[in-house]
Amino acid sequence: MARHGGSEDWIAGINAVDAALANDIGNVREILVEARARNPRLAELTGIAQAAGIAVRSVGNEVLERISGGVRHQGIVAHYAAAKSYDENDLQALIEGAGGAPLLLVLDGVQDPHNLGACLRSAAAAGVTAVVIPKDKAVAVNATVRKTSAGAADRVPVVRVTNLARALKDMKDAGVWFVGLAGEATQSLYAMDLKGPIGIVMGGEGEGLRRLTREHCDWLAKIPMVGEVESLNVSVATGIALFEAVRQRS
């Protein structure tokens, strides 16, 4: 399976740096830590980095503020080379590697990095095979996503595809059935069979599922709600849908 050379980035925050050191330490290039910080967790992380031969530098808070670009850094940032990136050419191998029952998450145009990070966190906890996102009109995995995902961005394959409709067709040809979440659907999510090779498709903020994406879904389903709220945040809805699949598969 291809693992293409990814871009280099800075990740900020204790949990994000901790996750990088725990899951992908070979791609951590350098650690910058606030010179006057007294947080014992910072000392623990810098100790792990130094033991692995990673350079650690003490810098002023203004340096961390500039590098983190508004992300809350908590006194530490890491220079990170994200080597694991996936595209549509990897989908077949990922599906085959799931042993006949892949669980895929397709995000159709999620643009808020906090939402994407939260979706990735739920995907990792649910044991998702891969998360598929379009390259255009959607947020990529960046420093904010990595921080929000609490390390999940390094544990779940995130597949960026040029044409989402075509990727859905290719995955259907590989035996995957797709359930799209839509508020106007008549079927309940809880009535769907999510135990086989399944992809759960979520729309982006505001627009929801786009027409072509909707047309490539085998079924549309909704999350039943008893209150007056018209829709759920995409990351909340994603968590509900994924763990209904986990419940059925257990």
Residue stretches of the annotated binding site? 203, 223, 232
| CA 34 – CA 58 distance, rounded (Å) | 6
| CA 221 – CA 244 distance, rounded (Å) | 12
**Which parts are annotated binding residues for S-adenosyl-L-methionine?**
203, 223, 232
Tokens (6 digits) for 64? 């961390």
Residue 10 contacts residue 102 (beta carbons within 8 Å): no
DSSP symbols for 37-89: ---HHHHHHHHHHHHTT-EEEEE-HHHHHHHHTTS--TTEEEEEE----B-GG
- Kind of pairing between the strands at 219-222 and 198-203: unpaired
Locate all alpha helices (DSSP H) within the chain, ordered by sequence.
14-23, 40-51, 61-68, 91-96, 113-125, 143-149, 164-173, 211-215, 234-249
